[in-house]
């Protein structure tokens, strides 16, 4: 199955779990932009040096540079049959930049999968994860802030993809295997 997808969901929605499952099942790579940025910095590539300069100044990496990184990643052989973008886009300008790149590559998105989970469930999940994993970014006040920032930033993005008829809502409050089945159903409907 070939599919070009964006996977959206707030922290704690199960995005990582579902992306890994999709990659294993359909053999299409998960492209997590944060991982790519860190790998480029670690490898010391020219692109990585540019990224490091922004990070060293405490600045966000500009959208144009992230899109450039995605362009390079989509040129790799394993993404010819599809990709799952995770962590990008986060804003409407980023979505527009991504659309321009994909149009240039003649690879429009097949769907944007949004794992919907209500705020209370997210807080419960992340609080539980913090207790188990002891992650520093899963403290209650930080959890609430991360969720609010995501929902605030992403609301316009949801509307953007809804207007393009690309948005597919997935009930992320259900058990992981039911979420996976719902995603599989969406993918079958694309074919």
The residues assigned a catalytic role are: 15, 90, 129, 135, 146
CA-to-CA distance for 127 and 161, rounded, in angstroms?
30
Nearest to 107 by CA among 27, 187, 2: 2
* 34: CB partners within 8 A, 6+ apart: 87
- Using alpha carbons, list the distances in angstroms from residue 49 to 36, 40, 60, 183: 13, 8, 14, 37
Following CA atoms 139, 123, 148, 137 in sequence, which dihedral angle do they give, to the nearest 10 degrees?
A: 20
37: which 2 tokens?
A: 């940025």
CA-to-CA distance for 79 and 95, rounded, in angstroms?
19
168 DSSP β-pair partners = 113
138 neighbors 11 (Cβ within 8 angstroms): no
Could you give the angle at which helices 46-56 and 33-43 cross, rounded to 10 degrees?
110
């Amino acid at each position: 199955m070939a599919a070009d997808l964006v996977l959206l969901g707030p922290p704690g929605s199960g995005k990582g779990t579902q992306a890994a499952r999709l990659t294993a099942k359909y053999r299409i790579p998960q492209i997590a932009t944060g991982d790519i940025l860190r790998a480029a910095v670690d490898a010391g590539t020219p692109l990585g040096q540019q990224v490091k300069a922004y990070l060293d100044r405490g600045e966000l990496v500009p959208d144009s540079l992230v899109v450039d990184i995605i362009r390079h990643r989509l040129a790799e052989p394993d993404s010819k049959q599809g990709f799952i973008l995770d962590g990008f886009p986060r804003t409407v300008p980023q979505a527009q930049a991504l659309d321009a790149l994909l149009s240039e590559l003649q690879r429009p998105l097949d769907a944007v999968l949004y794992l919907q989970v209500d705020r209370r469930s997210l807080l419960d999940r992340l609080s539980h994860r913090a207790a188990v994993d002891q992650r520093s970014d899963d403290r209650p006040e930080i959890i609430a802030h991360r969720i609010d920032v995501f929902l605030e930033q992403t609301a316009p993005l949801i509307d953007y993809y809804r207007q393009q008829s690309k948005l597919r809502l997935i009930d992320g409050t259900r058990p992981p295997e039911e979420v996976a089945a719902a995603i599989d159903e969406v993918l079958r409907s694309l074919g």
